[in-house]
Amino acid sequence: MKKEKKINQAEHILNTAYKCLSTKGHAKISLRNIANEAGVALSQLHYYFGSKNALYSQLITKSIGTYIDDFTEKLSTNTEGINSIDQLVRFIENAVFNDEAMVRVFYDVTNLALWSEEFRGLMNKMLDEISDIIEEKIINNNTLVPPLVNENPKAIARLLVSVLLGSTIQFIFSPSSRDEISESNKLLPSLLLG
């Protein structure tokens, strides 16, 4: 029972930290802010996580795991009868257009990764996993346009990740361009599959 309470308390703190990070950003929150929002003593955060970086590391690891699981599931089951690149675009657009908190946390953590080897490693691991999934579920299971047929599948997967991350940045800076971004993303299947 005590271990279950410990897990629930740690989970509650992680959820609160995610909320704080998504609404205020890393630079504007402290462990004290997170503790106050979670309704726990500051010492609880130190007990469960040790430091702000350790808390963020667990938060990032949890968020990445959830995102990767959802991503893999979506690309593994085609219930919509569309090609896998369209599935990928729809998944990314749904996440970007409908989960502003996730996008804010992703880019705040990306900023942290510029200055922290630990966070950089976590972000690289996530991008590697996403590229590997795209390579396995999309690139290796489709006939690509002739110029791409002999290209390295991993490089094509990385290109797709880069294009979709670029679309995400455009949406963050100009939410009113959502339709244009969506239109440009819809070009991906024809550019890759012909």
Could you read off the pLDDT of 121-167 as tens digits, one per residue? 998 998 999 899 888 888 877 777 777 778 888 888 898 888 888 88
Please identify, among 9, 30, 50, the residue that sits at the C-terminal boundary of a domain.
Answer: 50
- Asked whether the predicted pLDDT for residue 46 surpasses 70, the reply is yes
The C-alpha atoms of residue 77 and residue 94 are separated, in whole angstroms, by 16
Count other Cβ atoms within 10 Å, centred on residue 38. Answer: 19
116 shares its domain with 62: yes
Counting the structural domains of the chain, the total is: 2
- Asked whether the predicted pLDDT for residue 2 surpasses 80, the reply is no
Confidence (pLDDT) at 38: 94
179 shares its domain with 125: yes
19 shares its domain with 62: no
83 shares its domain with 31: no
Confidence (pLDDT) at 17: 93
Return the CATH number at 29.
Answer: 1.10.10.60
Domain limits for position 14: 1-50
CB-based burial, 132-156: b 16+ in 10 Å, e otherwise: ebbbebbbeeeebeeebeeeebeeb
- Asked whether the predicted pLDDT for residue 194 surpasses 80, the reply is no
Confidence (pLDDT) at 186: 83
- Asked whether the predicted pLDDT for residue 117 surpasses 90, the reply is yes
132 shares its domain with 185: yes
Q: Tell me what the pLDDT averaged over the chain comes to.
A: 85
Count other Cβ atoms within 10 Å, centred on residue 67. Answer: 17
68 shares its domain with 36: no
Return the CATH number at 107.
Answer: 1.10.357.10
Tokens of 156: 């094509």
The stretch 80-88 carries a mean pLDDT of: 73
